[in-house]
Amino acid sequence: MEQPPTSDTMTDRDSDITAAVVRERAKLGNFIRRRVRDPNDAEDILQDVFHEFVQAYRLPAPIEQASAWLFQVARNRIIDRFRKKKEQPLAEVSNDEDENSSEYRLDLALPAHDAGPEALYARAVVLKALQDALDELPANQRDVFIAHELEGRNFKDMAAESGVPVNTLLARKRYAVLHLRARLQVVYDAMDI
């Protein structure tokens, strides 16, 4: 039978938690900010990740590789944020209905959190594949995809800020979606989702 943690053990764990937060904060914050442009949202995600880290680290079996764990949880929080934004109606891009067509949207099908261990595993695999596919994109495509899908920004505003024509931004988003669909389809087929 496992013994309850002693105060020395808890102090050691608290020191380990503090050391990990201090060591990883800047790197993890930069990682999140590269994917989430709104500084307030990025900070919220960072705080959520550290909160979850503290809770998980205090469990009887603490986290072995803190850095890897933190980055994986951050990826999941970013993708969860993406999914929440996707569930909201898409903002009007312009008067042209073609811009809201399915070729500009990534319809991501994720198994539910509460559908059992197999679904949780499948969900983790899909989210990892999505993150890998996003990392593979050229920066200009990834930036447009994240700005539109995660941050809910519209193409007109992005064009006004960047000086890049709306049609160019639309093309970048379309190429990103095509790449992500192709990469995720392989995962869906392999897992029979």
pLDDT of residue 96: 37
Q: Are residues 24 and 69 in the same domain?
A: yes
CATH of residue 167's domain is 1.10.10.10
DSSP string, 95-115: S-GGGGSGGG--------TTS
How big is the CA angle at 177 (ends 175 and 111), to the nearest 5 degrees? 165
Q: Are residues 83 and 120 in the same domain?
A: no
pLDDT less than 70: residues of the chain: 1-11, 13, 62, 83-115, 192-193
Cα end-to-end distance, the chain, whole Å:
40
Whole-number Å distance between alpha carbons of 37 and 28: 14
Chosen domain end from 88, 111, 134: 88
pLDDT of residue 85: 59
CATH of residue 12's domain is 1.10.1740
Q: Are residues 67 and 119 in the same domain?
A: no
pLDDT of residue 99: 43
Dig out the tokens for 91 from the structure: 């903002």
Q: Are residues 70 and 125 in the same domain?
A: no
Q: Are residues 76 and 134 in the same domain?
A: no
- Domain with 128, as residue range(s), is 94-193
Q: Are residues 98 and 192 in the same domain?
A: yes
Chosen domain end from 38, 53, 88: 88
Q: Which pLDDT tens digit goes with each residue over 90-137? A: 333 333 334 444 555 666 666 665 667 777 777 788 788 888 888 898
- Name the nearest CA neighbour of 127 among 83, 178, 68: 83
Q: Are residues 116 and 55 in the same domain?
A: no
